[in-house]
Amino acid sequence: MIKSIILAAGKGTRMKSEKPKVLHEIFDKPLLGYVIEAVDNTGMCDENFVIVGHKAEQVEEYINNNHCKNTKCVLQSPQLGTGHAVSMVLPYLNKFNGNIIILCGDTPLITSDTLNKFINFHREKSSDITVMSAIFDNPSNYGRIIRNPDDSVHSIVEEKDANPEQKAVKEINAGIYCVNWEKVNLAFSELKNNNAQGEYYLTDIVKWGNEHNLSVNAYTLSDNKEIFGINSRENLAEAVRIMNNQTLSRFMSNGVTIVDPSTTWISGETEIGTDTVIYPCCYINGKNKIGKHCKIGPFAHLRGDVVLEDYVKIGNFVEVKKTTIKSHTNACHLTYLGDSEIGSNVNIGAGTITANYNPLTKVKSKTIIKDNVKIGSNSVLVAPVTIEEGANVGAVGVITKNIPAWALAITRAPLRVLENWVQKKK
């Protein structure tokens, strides 16, 4: 097994935000969450160390609420560079003699598959330090990978320090490392900060490794998009677009119809069965499971923890959250379904609302609708409430207690028609 060190201490000045950069979200999941899950999904890592600094308490709260099982936060204060950040874990790893991967918490597109290949390359080469690299047609602003004749890595040269020959190199440093900790940990006590910023740079371990006759190599990434880092709101929007396009392409390859990919946004944690159709202007975030032959949208919003069985229809301007809907049920328009269990062959009329939240107690309660129920238009189901099998709720119903099977529930006042009322008022 290996361990990881994830750098997440930076402020992210260009984000212009009160929120730490690594907690900005894509489909309701922080950037840092994507990186941790990519590491965990390699199946090789048994412990993660997240280096925190700017607004550390917020990052720690996220870690403790979501990744506490195998992830530890380590404070970097003051923040004196990436090499200094890694040195913060020295007290926790003084007896560790395996491999460690080091990566940034603001690269949400990195995949576990790539990390697996990277780690395996490091092992196959019997490498002491392996740097992940990428080939860019325009490598401006990136540190260049300078190789030796035997293909090992001689150095990483930042662009401002590169000569014309080095600037012509298109292989760049991707910012991810795998190191033999037993041999390399000493570097983090010996790095120098004799540079314009007065910081200790992680890139300097390459030079240190060569000076100590270690094996230093580079693994070249096949998809450059995976190392796309988030430094601005524009970067964040671009990452969302890249991730969404990858997700939609996967769905379409697996038999899902996406009518208009340019207006459809679906989280990668969502599962969708074959022959389901997603109409334009839908937003599906969080973790969901959508069955076969369903129809979603247009203008539908699934907010997470939604399970739709086969042949379910969620129509225009319908919002669904934390709800399970069984097969052949329709909610065609203008409806909110939250914290609900809905049976099969149910028809939800337009304008129906499950009133699941009590603003005084701040408690959310469940609505249960059994098989073959019909809910009339503009009904409000005030949870907790159960509509038993086959019951009908008349239009404009306000349901505050359980309705027995096959009953009709009506709460509206009788219709009164006052003839000539308008003319009399005139």
Q: Tell me which residues are annotated as active site.
A: 333
Count the Cβ atoms, other than its own, within 10 Å of residue 24.
Answer: 20
Is the separation of the CB atoms in 211 and 124 below 8 Å? no
Q: 220 φ, ψ to 5°?
A: -90, 125
Q: 126 φ, ψ to 5°?
A: 50, 45
Pairing of strands 153-157, 71-75: unpaired
DSSP one-letter code for 185: T
Q: Rounded distance, CA 60 to CA 55, Å?
A: 9
Is the separation of the CB atoms in 203 and 131 below 8 Å? no
Q: Rounded distance, CA 240 to CA 329, Å?
A: 32
Count the Cβ atoms, other than its own, within 10 Å of residue 189.
Answer: 8
DSSP 346-410: -EE-TT-EEE-EETTTTEE--EEE-TT-EE-TT-EEESSEEE-TT-EE-TT-EE-S-B-TT-EE-
- The 10 Å CB-count burial string (b at 16+, else e) for 355-393 is bbeeeeeeeeebbbbbbbbbbbbbbbbbbbbbbbebbbb
Chain centre to alpha carbon of residue 258: 21
Q: Rounded distance, CA 308 to CA 417, Å?
A: 43
Which residue from 210, 199, 4, 176 is spatially nearest to 93, judged by alpha carbons?
4
Is the separation of the CB atoms in 230 and 25 below 8 Å? no
DSSP one-letter code for 98: S
Chain centre to alpha carbon of residue 280: 22
In DSSP terms, which residues pair with 272 in a beta bridge?
A: 290
